[in-house]
């Protein structure tokens, strides 16, 4: 059996915006540090994603120190904000079926996004102490989640993507699927069956396979939508009305770092 290693680590500081690849990241109960702690909401407080607004793909995010810089690849406009914002105006928000409270630290930052996207929105921050529970059907110990769709971590095997790409006319990049952890080694789709495992010295648990949506059909380089890769995945990864790719994961130990190259051990 081939050795498995952690080949890539990704965070997505603003929900549904581009990712940032890291050499190492701190594992926290709600997800990797700085992962999906920000999001845009509409005037009703509902979360905004590339599903309805694919132009959100055209923002590039970079981190330096405690600063997050957002650059519009369409207009070249830039905005820098702190990675963590402890204060601001509190707003009730909705992420899928979850009602939460988030903070708007700056009306000026919200206006910048409204101007860039062409519709009114607010940029809000989700403090670490604010509550959002993982679906109780899939928890080990009352786990919490940040602003990710439902679970703190998403893991995908590189061999799974390689197998998918062997079936596509035009290969797609891993970023279509927005994982936190990419695994080298192993066989395609074996992560579907993972229960408890270690990345380095930290223990994780596979919770449920990840059902995929139309966001995977948005080209992260151009913001254009197409039928792939969902069309091909639906031919061999569909069960009922859901198409699966990747595994949702929770951390059983946290507040330590994972690093690129860490060995992965199935328990």
Nearest residue to 81 (alpha-carbon basis) of 67, 63, 100: 67
How many domains, the chain?
A: 1
Residues found in the chain: 267
CA 40 – CA 108 distance, rounded (Å)? 13
Q: What does the pLDDT look like over 212-244, one tens digit per residue?
A: 999 999 999 999 999 999 999 999 999 999 999
- Mean pLDDT (whole number) for 23-38: 97
CA 69 – CA 38 distance, rounded (Å)? 13
**Do the strands 20-22 and 78-82 form a parallel or antiparallel pair, or are they unpaired?**
unpaired
- Whole-number pLDDT of residue 223: 95
Q: What does the pLDDT look like over 250-260, one tens digit per residue?
A: 999 888 999 99
Tokens linked to 18: 């581009």
Q: Is the pLDDT of residue 85 over 80?
A: no
Range of the domain at 152: 4-266
Q: Using a pLDDT cut of 90, give the percent of the chain over it.
A: 93
For residue 185, is it left (φ>0), alpha (ψ between -120 and 50) or beta? left
Q: Is the pLDDT of residue 143 over 70?
A: yes
- Whole-number pLDDT of residue 141: 80
- Whole-number pLDDT of residue 216: 97
Q: What does the pLDDT look like over 150-193, one tens digit per residue?
A: 999 999 999 999 999 999 999 999 999 999 999 999 999 999 99
Show Cβ contacts of residue 185 under 8 Å, excluding neighbours closer than 6 positions. 2, 3, 4, 5, 159, 264
Q: Quick one: which H or E segment has residue 233?
A: helix 230-236
Q: Is the pLDDT of residue 1 over 60?
A: no
Please, which pLDDT band fits residue 139 given cuts at 50, 70 and 90? confident
At residue 49's C-alpha, the angle toward residues 140 and 96, to 5°, is: 40
Q: Is the pLDDT of residue 86 over 80?
A: no
Name the CA radius of gyration of the chain, rounded.
18
Q: Is the pLDDT of residue 129 over 90?
A: yes
Q: Using a pLDDT cut of 70, give the percent of the chain over it.
A: 99
């Amino acid at each position: 059996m081939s050795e498995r290693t952690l080949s890539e680590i990704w965070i997505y500081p603003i929900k549904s915006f581009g990712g940032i690849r890291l050499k190492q990241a701190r594992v926290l109960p709600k997800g990797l540090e700085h992962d999906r702690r920000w999001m845009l909401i509409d005037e009703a407080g509902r979360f905004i994603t590339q599903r309805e607004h694919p132009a959100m793909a055209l923002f590039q995010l970079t981190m330096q120190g405690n600063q997050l810089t957002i650059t519009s690849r369409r207009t070249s406009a830039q905005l820098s904000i702190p990675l963590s914002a402890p204060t601001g105006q509190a707003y009730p928000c909705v992420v899928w079926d979850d009602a939460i409270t988030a903070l708007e630290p700056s009306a000026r930052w919200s206006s910048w996004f409204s101007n860039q996207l062409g519709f009114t929105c607010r940029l809000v921050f989700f403090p670490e102490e604010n509550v959002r529970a993982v679906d109780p059907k899939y928890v080990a110990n009352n786990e919490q989640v940040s602003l990710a769709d439902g679970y703190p971590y998403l893991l995908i095997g590189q061999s799974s993507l390689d197998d998918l790409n062997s079936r596509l006319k035009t290969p797609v990049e891993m970023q279509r699927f927005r994982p936190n952890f990419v695994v080298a080694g192993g066989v395609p789709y074996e992560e579907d069956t993972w229960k408890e495992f270690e990345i380095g010295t930290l223990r994780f648990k596979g919770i449920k396979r990840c059902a995929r949506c139309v966001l995977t059909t948005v080209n992260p380089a151009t913001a254009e939508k197409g039928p792939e890769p969902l069309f091909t995945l639906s031919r061999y990864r569909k069960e009922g009305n859901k198409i699966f790719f990747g595994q949702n994961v929770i951390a059983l130990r946290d507040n330590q770092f994972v690093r690129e190259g860490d060995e992965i051990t199935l328990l």
